A = this chain, B = another copy of it.
Amino acid sequence: ALLEAVIAHFRPKRLAGCELLITAGPTFEPIDPVRGLTNRSSGKMGFALARAAAEAGARVTLVAGPVHLPTPAGVQRIDVQTAQDMLQAVLPRAQALGRQGVFIATAAVADWRPAALAPHKLKKDGKKVPPQLELSENEDILARVAALPAPPFCVGFAAESEQLEAHARDKLIRKKLPLVVGNLGPATFGRDDNSLLLVDAHHATPLPADGRSADKRLLACALIDEIARRRLDWLHTQA
């Protein structure tokens, strides 16, 4: 822990004075008091980014769904359960950040929630007729933040099981983002190493540059450096 602190101390402070908001983990959308819809997401990448950003000098707020991970040193953590909770935690804070801030959306937010929450545990009816589960669409947190009048530098994540670059670029354009980080999801969920694809308006760049996988901790530091650099370029293009 001491060695970690020393290493952290000597990392370049590329984000000194910058405010960062990060979402991480899955959301849990209750069906009844015991059941729910959720996503596979360990939250490890988001927590590693929060830590790397704090070490790079940023003031970091981490909005986390239900995960079993310790809060990184120096990071303010807000625990939420549903996508609606997460939106309520994120939106006013993102608004307060303004263009100088950074918003990184790593959370695997549920796209849909059960249309109604049953107040008591649903019972099998004995006739083998499963209930129909009516779904409602959740609001898109990242799109809402990116559409603010003075949005922070927004970074999306795309976890895909196929056609990574195409889906990442589609998300970039549809939500009007400067950067989307692609992640060949299911193969890497919960693992400690990973490899990413950085997709912007012009390029798709693998990280690590050789396209191989790297430890999530190292990858997080490299990605925070990339975000710090791209944020400065982006700020120059803004009014």
Contacts and interface: CB of A to CB of B under 8 A. Distances in A.
Contacts of A38: 35-38
Contact of A133 (B111, B122, B135, B162): B135
Interface size class of A (residues with CB under 8 A): 35 or more
Given A124-B137, A130-B112, A136-B130, A39 B35 contact: yes
A203 interface: no
A120 B34 contact: no
A215 B74 CA distance: 32
Contacts of A133: 132-133, 135
Nearest to A161: B33
Give the top 10 A-B pairs by smallest Cβ distance, nearest first: A130-B135, A33-B186, A133-B133, A33-B161, A68-B68, A112-B130, A120-B161, A121-B161, A34-B39, A130-B137
Nearest to A124: B111
A109 B122 CA distance: 13
Interface in A15-45: 28, 31-41
A211 to B, nearest CB: 21
A128 interface: yes
Contact of A132 (B124, B128, B130, B135): B135
B135 A34 contact: no
Interface string A158-202: 011110000000000000000000000110010000000000000
A121 B185 CA distance: 10
Contacts of A137: 124, 128, 130
Contacts of A35: 37-40, 110
A228 interface: no
A108 interface: yes
A149 interface: no
B36 A120 contact: no
A131 interface: yes
Nearest to A163: B120
A229 to B, nearest CB: 30
Contacts of A108: 34
A124 B121 CA distance: 29
A36 B37 contact: yes
Given A121-B159, A121-B161, A121-B185, 18 more contacts: A34-B39, A34-B41, A34-B108, A34-B159, A34-B161, A34-B186, A35-B37, A35-B38, A35-B39, A35-B40, A36-B40, A37-B38, A111-B122, A128-B137, A130-B134, A130-B135, A132-B132, A132-B135
